[in-house]
Amino acid sequence: MRATLVISLLVLVACSESFPPASAVNEFRVVAAKVEVEADRARANPSPEEQVEVSVLSIDRGVPEDPDVSALSPAPLQWRFVPCVPAPVTIGPPICLDAIEPCTGCAATPPDDPLATPVVGFEVPTAQELEDADARSVLLQGVVCANGTPSEDAIRRYLLGETEDLTPCEGPAQIDGRAIEGRFVTIQIPIEADPGDPNLNPELSGLLLDGRGWPPPYDAGVPRDAAGTGCAADLDGLSVAEREAHPRAGDDPSTINLSVTRESIQTFTVDDTELTEEIQVSWLADGGGFEVSFSFISEPARSVLTSWKPPKSVPEDGQLVRLNFVVRDGRGGSDWTERGLCILPPAQAPSPP
C-alpha cells in the first residue's frame, strides 16, 4: 500500500483523534503547501495564465544526538513533482490528464544543499485549456523523500491513479544509520473564482507561550541541524526569566495562544450568498502532547488558545521539542511557522538545612 498525503487546498478533510494523535510528529510527514501567485504573493488562488510558486512543508521527529548519525531533521530532502490539468474523475484519487510544462524546481536532488526544501513554479494553463478539460483546479503531484531518492516508476504509476504496492523512495541512503522515508503528495490548487475579490493566504501574526512572547533562542524557528538532545547549552547566556520560560519535564500544561491578522478571515460570495472563512489551525509537536490536534478561528475572533503538556522525563542535558503551527482558510490559502522549546529535567528541590 502506498504512503500517501493528499493536501487538498479546496476541501478540508477532517481527521479523527486516535492514538497517536494527529498532532504527534513521530515520523517523516509532509503537512502543508503554500501557493503564492507571483504577480501578487498575498494571493493563494491563481487565474489562468498566471505564474505560481508552491512551497511544501515537511517535518520529522527530532533525532537524538549521536556522533555517528546526523541530527538533521528532516533528513536531506529530494523530490519530484509534475504539475498537470486533472482528468474529470468523480471518484477515486486525482489523475493527471495533461502535464504542464515547463516547471522550475520540480525535480531536485540537491545533495550539495542538505537544507533545501521543495519550492516549485509553473504557469497555469489558459482558460480554454481548463474549460476543455472541465477543470476548476490544477494539480501538483509527486514525491518528497527524506534520505532517499524518488522512484521514477512509482511516480509514473501514481500519476496514472494506481494505489497499491507503491514505494515512493529508494536508496542509497544519504545518511548512514537513518531510515529512507518518503510520501506521495497531491496538492490541489483551485482556480480563482472571482478575480475581482481574490482569495488571500491567511497570515500568522503572533504566538504566545503562557501569555508572554515566545522565549529565545527558538523564538524564530529551530535550525534543521539542531540535535534532539543537548539543548541545555543553547540556554547559556539567556536571562533567568528567559530560561525559566521554557517548561520543565513533568510541569503542568502550558498555554499557547495563536493569532492571525484581521485580513486573514475573508468574506466571499457563492451563488449570491455571502460566507465568511473559518481558519483551521493544526498543532504539531515532536514531543509532549497538545490538548487537541485541530482548532478553529471564527469571526469575530482573531486568535485561539490551546494547551501543550511537556514530556514527563528528558535527558539531563535537555530535550529539544519542535512545534509547528499550520493555518488554512479552507479555500486554498495557508501559512505556517515553527517554534522550539528546550525541556530540562525537573528542578532539584533545595537540600534541607
14: pLDDT confidence band, cut at 50, 70 and 90? very low
* Mean pLDDT, rounded, of the chain: 90
Q: Are residues 170 and 241 in the same domain?
A: no
Average pLDDT value for residue range 144-150: 95
- Same domain for 137 and 44: yes
Does 55 fall in a domain?
Answer: yes
Task: Let me know whether 227 and 291 are in one domain.
Answer: yes
Query: 230, 65 in Cβ contact below 8 A?
Result: yes
Under the banding of pLDDT at 50, 70 and 90, the label for residue 18 is very low
Greater confidence, 11 or 103? 103
**Residue 353 banded pLDDT, cuts 50, 70, 90:** low
Q: How many residues does the chain have?
A: 353
How many angstroms separate the Cα of 160 from the Cα of each of 93, 95, 97, 107, 221? Answer: 9, 6, 9, 19, 38
Q: Could you say which DSSP state residue 123 is in?
A: E
Same domain assignment for residues 187 and 112: yes
Spatial distance between the Cα atoms of 131 and 83, rounded to a whole number of angstroms: 17
DSSP structure string for 74-139? SPPEEEEEEEEEEP--SSSS--EEEE---EETSEE--TT-TT---EEEEEPPPHHHHHHTT-SEEE
pLDDT, one tens digit per residue, over 206-255 is 999 999 999 999 999 999 999 999 999 999 999 999 999 999 999 999 99
Q: Are residues 207 and 159 in the same domain?
A: no
Q: CA separation (Å) from 121 to 19, 56, 87, 109, 182?
A: 37, 12, 21, 16, 21
User: Is 14 among the domain residues?
Assistant: yes
Q: Is the pLDDT of residue 339 over 70?
A: yes
**pLDDT, tens only, 68-116:** 677 899 999 999 999 999 998 777 778 899 999 999 999 987 767 889 9
44 and 120 share one domain: yes
CA distance 172 to 175: 9
160 or 59: which leads in pLDDT? 59
Domain finish residue from 198, 219, 234: 198
Residue ranges in 214-324 assigned as alpha helix (H): 240-244
Query: What is the pTM assigned to this prediction?
Result: 0.91
DSSP 42: T
Could you check whether the bond before residue 74 is cis, i.e. omega within 30 degrees of 0?
A: yes
pLDDT of 10: 34
Average pLDDT of span 39-58: 98
Q: Is 48 among the domain residues? A: yes
Cell numbers 530532502 correspond to: 77
Which residue in the block uniquely carries the three cell numbers 498566471? Answer: 50
Do the domain assignments include residue 71?
A: yes
With respect to residue 126, please indicate whether it lies within any of the assigned structural domains.
yes
Q: Output the domain CATH number for residue 226.
A: 2.60.40.10
* Cβ 232 vs Cβ 342: under 8 Å: yes
pLDDT of residue 90: 75
Whether residue 199 has pLDDT greater than 50: yes
Beta strand pairing status for 181-190 and 4-8? parallel
Structural domain contains residue 350: no
pLDDT tens, 285-315? Answer: 999 999 999 999 999 999 999 999 999 999 9
Residue 320 · residue 222 · CB < 8 Å? yes
Residue 277 has pLDDT above 50, yes or no: yes
233 & 219 share domain: yes
The residue among 174, 198, 222 that closes a domain is 198
Over residues 28-34, the mean pLDDT reads 97
Are residues 232 and 112 located together in one domain of the fold?
Answer: no
Distance between CA atoms of 6 and 15, rounded to whole angstroms? 12
Query: Which of 175, 198, 221 is the C-terminal boundary of a domain?
Result: 198
How many independent structural domains does the chain possess?
A: 2
Mean pLDDT of 271-280: 94
Over residues 17-24, mean pLDDT: 76
In this structure, the answer to whether residues 58 and 98 fall within a common structural domain is yes
Q: Per the domain annotation, does 353 fall within a domain?
A: no
**Judgement on whether residues 1 and 145 belong to the same structural domain of the protein:** yes
Task: Domain of residue 288: give its range.
Answer: 200-345
| Residue 93 sits in the same domain as residue 57 | yes
What was the pLDDT predicted at 70?
Answer: 79
In a domain, 352, yes or no: no
Same-domain check for residues 9 and 132: yes
